[in-house]
């Protein structure tokens, strides 16, 4: 049975229509006319326990709204949602004990307290036993490198340090599900790698189900085995990364560095670029294998180096959205 189930989720927001002119603000306040915006439009998916899923889409696609319905912050306009057998918005307290949430744009830590005090308060809120707290803190401190700023007030932490503290606080009660909304936004390489490693370890070692929304598709390729792609509140794709690439970017590129510059003409491969002895050939792996293509090139040309370039997820997703807006 899925640990997360969303069925035909819809969320609409109603806003009063603005009335122009003199006393417009007062008339707007009293108006019974509304503008309805549908942020999520029939989204449905099942997520099994232990999955690590990337939930992707452009700004305004409905990602954060969906996460807020899954966490119980928002009530759906229609449709159904269950997390660990709980309807989030009906039983928020029970749901909160099953989930951890990290929003990259806001912190759940106490601003004026040292990080260690914030973590102890979070543990108290979730009734974490002292022995479990000590064990979890020791493990998270090691994985996230918290020891150098545990006694620093949260307001003095860098963005990367605060995000690591938020992750530790979200996981102290060992929830079944972790929601990460833009957890690496604005972080440097070191902090981003720490967080990626921590999330991967949670999923692999503890079996934590993770739902990740992000604009950094390097996060998705590094962590996720499955992605759900949405736009204008609707699901466009639900499956693995390899299938998405095969469907929307079937070609690969072979980059050849020639010992002697010149043209390269090989059957089943199209030259797409040539500069200073470096030739790029585009090919379809469904028609010719990379090993066969490399063999043909080596049989006809003296080569100093070569490499296969796979399509990156960012270009694939950008192409899908560009096609939809064209």
Residue 263 has what pLDDT? Answer: 85
Long-range pairs of 12-18 with CB within 8 A, sequence gap ≥ 24: 12/36, 12/37, 12/38, 12/39, 12/77, 13/37, 13/39
The proportion of the chain whose per-residue pLDDT surpasses 90, expressed as a percent, equals 56
Residue 28 has what pLDDT? Answer: 62
Confidence of residue 30 (pLDDT cuts 50, 70, 90): low
pLDDT at 180 over 60: yes
Confidence of residue 249 (pLDDT cuts 50, 70, 90): confident
Residue 1 has what pLDDT? Answer: 76
Residue 312 has what pLDDT? Answer: 79
Residue 19 has what pLDDT? Answer: 62
pLDDT at 25 over 80: no
Task: Give which of 157, 164, 323 is closest to 249, Cα–Cα.
Answer: 323
Residue 15 has what pLDDT? Answer: 78
Its pTM surpasses 0.95: no
Q: What is the bridge-based pairing of β-strands 99-103 and 177-181? A: parallel
**What H or E segment, with its residue span, contains residue 36?**
strand 34-47
DSSP 147-169: GGGTTSBGGGS-HHHHHHHHHHH
Residue 114 has what pLDDT? Answer: 95
Confidence of residue 320 (pLDDT cuts 50, 70, 90): confident
**Euclidean distance between CA atoms 51 and 107, whole angstroms:** 25
pLDDT at 104 over 80: no
Q: Which carries the bigger pLDDT value, residue 262 or residue 212?
A: 212
Residue 196 to residues 17, 229, 237, 319, Cα–Cα distance (Å): 44, 20, 24, 26
**What H or E segment, with its residue span, contains residue 56?**
strand 52-56
pLDDT at 325 over 80: no
Give me the CATH code for the 50-73+87-245 domain, please. 3.40.50.300
Q: Which carries the bigger pLDDT value, residue 53 or residue 28?
A: 53
Residue 31 has what pLDDT? Answer: 62
Domain definitions of the chain by residue range: 50-73+87-245, 250-310
Over range 212-217, report the average pLDDT: 86
Residue 7's contacts (CB-CB under 8 Å, 6 or more residues apart) are 44, 79, 80, 81
Q: Is 71 exposed, middle or buried, given 0-12, 13-18 or 19+ CB atoms closer than 10 A? A: buried
**Euclidean distance between CA atoms 183 and 105, whole angstroms:** 8
pLDDT at 108 over 90: no
Token duo for residue 70:
């899954």
Token duo for residue 282:
């585009």
257-306 pLDDT, tens per residue? 998 888 888 888 988 888 888 999 999 888 889 899 999 999 999 999 99
**Euclidean distance between CA atoms 215 and 109, whole angstroms:** 24
Residue 100 to residues 194, 219, 245, Cα–Cα distance (Å): 18, 19, 31
DSSP 255-291: EEEESS------TTEEEEEEETTEEEEEE-TTTS-HH
**Euclidean distance between CA atoms 281 and 273, whole angstroms:** 7
**What H or E segment, with its residue span, contains residue 179?**
strand 177-181
Neighbours of 277 (CB within 10 A): 14
Task: Give which of 199, 160, 154 is closest to 180, Cα–Cα.
Answer: 199
**Euclidean distance between CA atoms 284 and 295, whole angstroms:** 16
109-149 pLDDT, tens per residue? 999 999 999 999 999 999 999 999 999 999 999 989 999 99
Residue 26 to residues 13, 14, 36, 144, Cα–Cα distance (Å): 21, 18, 20, 52
């Amino acid at each position: 049975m899925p640990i997360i189930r969303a069925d035909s989720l819809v969320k609409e927001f109603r806003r009063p229509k603005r009335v122009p002119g003199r006393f417009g603000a007062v008339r707007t306040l009293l108006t019974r006319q509304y503008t309805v915006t549908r942020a999520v439009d029939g989204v449905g998916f099942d997520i099994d326990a232990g999955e690590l899923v990337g939930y992707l889409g452009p700004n305004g696609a409905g990602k954060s709204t969906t996460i807020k319905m899954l966490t119980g912050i928002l009530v759906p306009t229609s449709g159904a949602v269950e997390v660990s057998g709980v309807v989030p918005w009906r039983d928020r307290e029970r749901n909160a004990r099953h989930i951890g949430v990290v929003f990259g744009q806001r912190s759940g830590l106490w601003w004026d307290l040292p990080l260690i005090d914030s973590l102890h308060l979070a543990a108290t809120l979730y009734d974490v036993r002292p022995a479990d707290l000590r064990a979890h803190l020791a493990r998270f401190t090691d994985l996230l490198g918290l020891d150098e700023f545990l006694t620093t007030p949260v307001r003095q932490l860098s963005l990367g340090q605060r995000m690591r503290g938020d992750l530790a606080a979200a996981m102290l009660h060992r929830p079944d599900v972790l929601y990460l909304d833009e957890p690496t936004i604005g972080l440097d390489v070191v902090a981003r790698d720490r967080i990626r490693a921590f999330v991967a370890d949670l999923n692999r070692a503890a079996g934590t189900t993770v739902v990740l929304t992000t604009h950094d598709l390097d996060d998705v390729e590094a962590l996720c085995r499955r992605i759900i792609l949405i736009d204008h509140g609707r699901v466009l794709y639900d499956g693995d990364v390899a299938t998405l690439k095969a469907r929307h970017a079937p070609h690969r590129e072979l980059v050849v560095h020639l010992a002697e510059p010149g043209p390269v003409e090989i059957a089943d491969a199209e030259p797409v670029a040539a500069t200073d002895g470096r030739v790029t050939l585009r090919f379809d792996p469904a028609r010719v294998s990379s090993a066969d293509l490399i063999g043909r090139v080596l049989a006809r040309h003296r080569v100093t180096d070569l490499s296969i370039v796979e399509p990156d997820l960012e270009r694939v997703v950008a192409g899908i959205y560009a096609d939809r807006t064209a």
